[in-house]
Amino acid sequence: MRIIQTTDYQEMSRTAALLILNLLLENPQAVIGLATGHTPSGLYREWVLARYSLGIAMNGLHFCHLDEYLGMDSQNPESMAAILRQQLFQPLGINADRVHYMPAADPDPEQACQVYEKLIQELGGLDLQILGIGQNGHIAFNEPGTSFNQHTHITPLSVSTRKANARYFASGETPEQAMTMGPSSIMGAKRILLLASGSNKANAVQNMLEGPLDENCPASLLRFHPHATLVLDREAAAKLSPVTLHPADYNQPAPLSVYKHSEKFFNSPQRILVCAPHPDDASISCGGTLARLKEEGHELLFVSMTTGHRADIPDTSREERIVLRQREAEKEAACFDSQALGLELDFYERSYCPSSADVTRIRSVLSSFKPALVFSASAEDRHPAHRMSALLLKEALQQHVQALGTTIQLWAYEGPWFLFARDDFNTVVELDDRHLQLKLAGIQAHRSQIERKRYDQAAEALSRFRAITTPESRLSSFGSEVQNLGETIEVFQRFELRPRLAT
């Protein structure tokens, strides 16, 4: 998550408005989800001012409504829809057909929730969702305990939320239920802009950014969105650690290391956890290095984060594909005299939406196996299963090292679906032919995938490509005399995960 700290509420509002205006210049046809409440009202005021001072056209936009009190008609003056009309739609001159209110007064609210989800998809999905955060960590009206996999739904409101919103009602009584976009719906937006202001939000912001992924803090899910930005003022940021606010100052890249043939990884036998998003990813991406580690006497455990049943294997059922791919994973592990474990994480069955149960399952493996080194896909990998596997693993690892007060190496790998940029990898491992052959044997154990695509050829080609180009492009200047890395190598992004210091 990108974090922008501002001095006060006014600067926060102005900064958020500039981010939105930049998006509108890029995409004048954007679909924008809107939140209500005190926090975004300053943003909407700045948005209106900028629209008239800069003359940016708004007639191509679509607007969707984040949440509404159940039974509340959009024309009711106490509705959240009325607030949006007053603060944004009327000042901007937005036509009514460009606004899509939450159908909270529909006589069949459950069906209306599904219709609203379908409407958003027909619009092409949300290009941007604007959010605030509640004092208890809620986003929209998703109270603590809401499943991250929930879509638009009906929900009871907590006492704290009703109390906070009572000022908007003449009676002083807030409705007890609401219709709201769910966490999964929110995560479906291409970008998220979250605002937080005031000292009363400091605890919620800290729990969101520095606490565990937890359904009891719905906002913690936002850390897993690939394009989420938090704009907050100084008071809301008061409890955040310097590491969170200024990660670049603390997370300096590890120095470049080259593991030559003669160089050992460790001086004594260690346990190595090899995590693969799909059953066949490990050998494809790091099989040669695993061969060297096994040769050095270390214990390997292969872990598949998902079943991989979505692979195209003709004339097979879902259950048959699960069994087949697990057997192939066991054959791959046997090539390295190792064991294979299938975690079957829930996110794979939930449109890549994570859960705290996923983290707990990974932590269980970490606690029992106690690895010194963990291999993972990269969090920058655009494949959704690869990216989510990497994020969940890093979440579990951070909790693990925090609990034990220990340090663990994390090596992120590349593969045919994702390549590191020139300066992004900091670890180079030389391979002999025997290491390459074991790597290929591990890949070829996944016969169902080799028959679909020759990933063994792609992986070998990548290892040879890296061996040819890395000496000149990464280890020295272009055109100069370069060291010979042999015919094949693998490259990694190496991290050292340590416990966070208490603030």
This prediction has a pTM of 0.91
Identical fold for domains 2-247 and 257-497, yes or no, is yes
Q: Which CATH architecture has domain 2-247?
A: 3-Layer(aba) Sandwich (3.40)
Domain residue limits, the chain: 2-247, 257-497
Burial of 260: CB neighbours in 10 Å, binned 0-12, 13-18, 19+: exposed
For the domain made up of 257-497, the CATH class stated in words is alpha beta
Q: Which of 68, 143, 381, 460 is catalytic?
A: 143
Q: Can you tell me whether residue 46 is helix, strand or coil?
A: helix
Q: Which of 60, 70, 52 is closest to 29 using CA atoms?
A: 60
Percent of the chain past pLDDT 70, that is, above it, reads: 97
Query: Catalytic: 136?
Result: yes
Q: Which of 65, 117, 136, 142 is catalytic?
A: 136
Query: Catalytic: 143?
Result: yes
Average pLDDT per consecutive 10 residues, the chain (503 residues; last block may be shorter): 97 97 94 95 95 85 96 93 96 95 96 97 98 96 96 92 84 90 98 98 97 97 97 97 79 82 93 98 98 98 96 93 96 98 95 95 98 97 96 96 92 95 94 98 96 95 95 72 84 91 56
Exposure string over 178-194, b if 16+ CB within 10 A, otherwise e: bbbbbbbbbbbbbbbbb
pLDDT at 260 (0 to 100): 93
Q: Pseudo-torsion of CA 40, 41, 42, 46, nearest 10°?
A: 100
**Length of the chain measured in residues:** 503
pLDDT at 5 (0 to 100): 97
pLDDT at 168 (0 to 100): 81
User: What is the C-alpha to C-alpha distance for residues 197 and 203, in angstroms, rounded to an integer?
Assistant: 12
Token couple for 322: 């699960």
pLDDT at 273 (0 to 100): 99
User: What is the C-alpha to C-alpha distance for residues 193 and 209, in angstroms, rounded to an integer?
Assistant: 15
| pLDDT tens figures, 23-37 | 999 999 999 999 998
What 3 state SS string does 147-182 have?
A: CCCCCCEEEECCHHHHHHHHHHCCCCCCCCEEEECC
Q: Which of 138, 151, 153, 435 is catalytic?
A: 138
pLDDT at 252 (0 to 100): 63
Distance from the Cα of residue 450 to its chain's centroid: 29
pLDDT at 487 (0 to 100): 95
Query: Catalytic: 67?
Result: yes
Please state, in angstroms and as integers, the Cα–Cα distance from residue 63 to each residue in 86, 129, 152, 182, following that order.
14, 10, 16, 17
Q: Which of 67, 358, 395, 414 is catalytic?
A: 67
